[in-house]
Structure 1
């Protein structure tokens, strides 16, 4: 059941909420491993604890976000999830001395809280865009990229002053802010009782399944660069500062794409063109990083393709969900997409680790080429199926 209108100014309010949600991600992703290392945990245990939330999200995202189709408002899921994140982050320093199994249980609960946040916000944003054609999902989602970048920069500066021990408390504060943001910015977005569905109404069409799989494959092809990009580039002779610049350039390219794509004729609300653009850019990017082994100067311009490999793919999947998901199953579709992306990324990350250990960066990046190619093939299949 689609949520009722929020109010005037939906776009800015949703963009602010994206910024609040992604601020926590922008601190947790780069800095939580540092906190785990400060506890004296070894690399293998840290790796297991970092991978644990991915496994949890694969299992719980679709069922949790599917509650929207049963009448649980997205706003309520977001408030509950953010409060759960705040509570688990606040308890982590006390849990750490009790042993890593206790900490692992808390991290798993933390992942349950995080699982519905972004898909629920995407659901709410796509509903707003369908109601008001003047709204642009890309511009709204831009808030998340800006929030991620700002929080990463501010978090690094702040933690340099107060130390890594404050990371869980800092994250707890950010998640409390996100809970307040969801409660206030989505006020009035509560839905009524769920409508009865016919027996076939909740089925996702084949074209949407193919588009979800295409997006998951293209995003999963980032696994090698996410896990081993910095290590590989430093081994090629790039200075750590240049490596940091390369990552920053990718985020800036993503922000620029979200800001400008609405002005490009034929791309807005064109899911298969966007997915195809993301897949082709991924093929170019990973092939270029193979060549960069002999020419490290290629790394910086290739990172600018992140705006397409991530940004165009993200927008393509969202456009497909908005266009093809049936009423009464939009929440389930949103959760299914997030779970499929997590499963594909986890699998690709494990495979890239094996490849990097066996043949270094060249083999790892080379392995991502067929993954991106699979994304392109699935995109073509989805486009063909949608015309039938």
Structure 2
């Protein structure tokens, strides 16, 4: 008598949301406040710059190979657990390393960056797998928990610094948050079916349409470089009060959260990979030009920051939609990591360009130079759409209850 293998358990959206939240809370502390901690140590500006650039360089080279381990049979949840434990250990050791000397601190930061590189792409991999298996799940709504965690961490981190002091609060908070993330990764138990693998078969290649989509997303996301690096500086030098600067950043994250919450209500034709990437690229082009022309006017800045929901959020959803649609089985982990590596490379290059431009012509020039990046991303979106059409690839709805593709 033949027996039918039991179906894998229904994916749990709450568990995936909690994974995003705990990892992004940690990122929401580390991203804005690690430079504050390094400065509190009394390090030279050149050393601080090098230490902050180190994780970006490591992310470029390490993310794709590490997330690609999933295609070789390493569970995404194990990568999350191991990475979070290494993060906790390195954060805990950083004060002692800094006391001994900055070279040891640099080594700890490098190990920390390697551990952090695959965390978010691994959760993305797990979430996309769950969305493909369950028509009831929405990637956008699950991913929204990360944005909410990031925003709350930004707010709570500032309060913690004021109460505990910079040198104590930052490494202590980051160590505890990494331990919490490791605990959640251990107990969450999100089932991810293994992709069918033939050990003797050659490694699947990523199709050209996916490479074009990844390149488009990387270019569009890199157009944020000028705002990320010099937005606050430019606003403060033009008389925008500090309280409003914080509010402007919060508006950007809030608009991203609103997009994730409401994207499922948009017409289906707007929710495919190319439509989402085009929305992100068009908004990024408009935002770059608006910042160049009106980047010191508070009223205009509020409207421009609302566009962040599209420039970041729609672009992120479009990239994930492209991976879900076009990455072949046995290469989904590598595709997920490639999205992060390509984004890091493009953003790092754009940040260097931004620094030169800001020194030469101030904010208007730096912001204006982000427009060609967004436009180039739109061009790649158009090429990807043509390539998909030529090969008859399915490009319809990704977000919401219309997922039908199965692992």
Q: Smaller-chain TM-score range?
A: over 0.9
Q: CA deviation at 1:159?
A: 1.7
Q: 1:55 to 1:33 in 2, by over 3 A?
A: same
Alignment partner of 1:363 out of 348, 362, 365 = 365
- The 5 Å alignment of 1:107-256 reads 107-166=109-168, 167-189=170-192, 191=194, 194-196=197-199, 198-199=201-202, 202-256=204-258
Q: CA deviation at 1:134?
A: 1.2
Alignment size in residue pairs: 384
Secondary structure at 2:268 match in 1? coil
Does the 8 A contact of 1:75 with 1:190 survive in 2?
no
Q: 1:269 to 1:145 in 2, by over 3 A?
A: same
Q: 1:48 to 1:9 in 2, by over 3 A?
A: same
Q: Paired residue for 1:78?
A: 80
Alignment partner of 1:41 out of 26, 30, 43 = 43
What is the TM-score normalised by the length of structure 2?
0.91
What is the TM-score normalised by the length of structure 1?
0.96
Does the 8 A contact of 2:218 with 2:346 survive in 1?
yes
CA distance in 2: counterparts of 1:205 and 1:159, whole angstroms? 47
- The 5 Å alignment of 1:19-34 reads 19-34=21-36
Does the 8 A contact of 1:246 with 1:300 survive in 2?
yes
Q: Is 1:285 paired with 2:287?
A: yes
Q: CA deviation at 1:191?
A: 4.3
CA distance in 1: counterparts of 2:355 and 2:374, whole angstroms? 17
Alignment partner of 1:87 out of 86, 89, 102 = 89
Segments of 5+ residues of structure 1 without an aligned counterpart are: none
CA distance in 2: counterparts of 1:5 and 1:141, whole angstroms? 25
Q: CA deviation at 1:42?
A: 2.1
Q: Paired residue for 1:105?
A: 107
The one-character-per-residue Cα deviations of 1:98-141 (angstroms, maximum 9, x if unpaired) are 11111111100000000110011100000000001111000000
Query: Which segment is superposed worse, 251-260 or 185-194?
Result: 185-194
Does the 8 A contact of 2:29 with 2:153 survive in 1?
yes
CA distance in 2: counterparts of 1:40 and 1:261, whole angstroms? 46
Q: 1:189 to 1:382 in 2, by over 3 A?
A: closer
Does the 8 A contact of 1:5 with 1:128 survive in 2?
no
Segments of 5+ residues of structure 2 without an aligned counterpart are: 1-5, 391-407
Query: Which segment is superposed worse, 41-50 or 182-191?
Result: 182-191
Q: CA deviation at 1:194?
A: 4.7
Q: 1:158 to 1:5 in 2, by over 3 A?
A: farther
- The 5 Å alignment of 1:283-362 reads 283-293=285-295, 295-362=297-364
Q: 1:15 to 1:252 in 2, by over 3 A?
A: same
Q: 1:98 to 1:190 in 2, by over 3 A?
A: farther
Query: Which segment is superposed worse, 151-160 or 320-329?
Result: 151-160
CA distance in 1: counterparts of 2:382 and 2:139, whole angstroms? 23
Does the 8 A contact of 2:12 with 2:190 survive in 1?
no
Q: 1:57 to 1:92 in 2, by over 3 A?
A: same
